[in-house]
Amino acid sequence: AIDNVQDEIDERLHSDTRKDNTLAIVLGVIGGVVGLAVVILAVFVVIKKRKQRKR
Backbone φ and ψ of 20, nearest 5°: -85, 100
pLDDT of residue 48: 93
- Where would I find the beta strands (DSSP E) of 1-55? none
CB 37 within 8 Å of CB 47:
no
pLDDT of residue 19: 60
Domain ranges of the chain: 2-54
pLDDT of residue 54: 77
Q: Report the distance separating Cα 21 and Cα 12, nearest Å.
A: 10
pLDDT of residue 36: 96
Nearest to 9 by CA among 35, 36, 20, 32: 20
Running DSSP on this structure, what letter comes out for residue 19? S
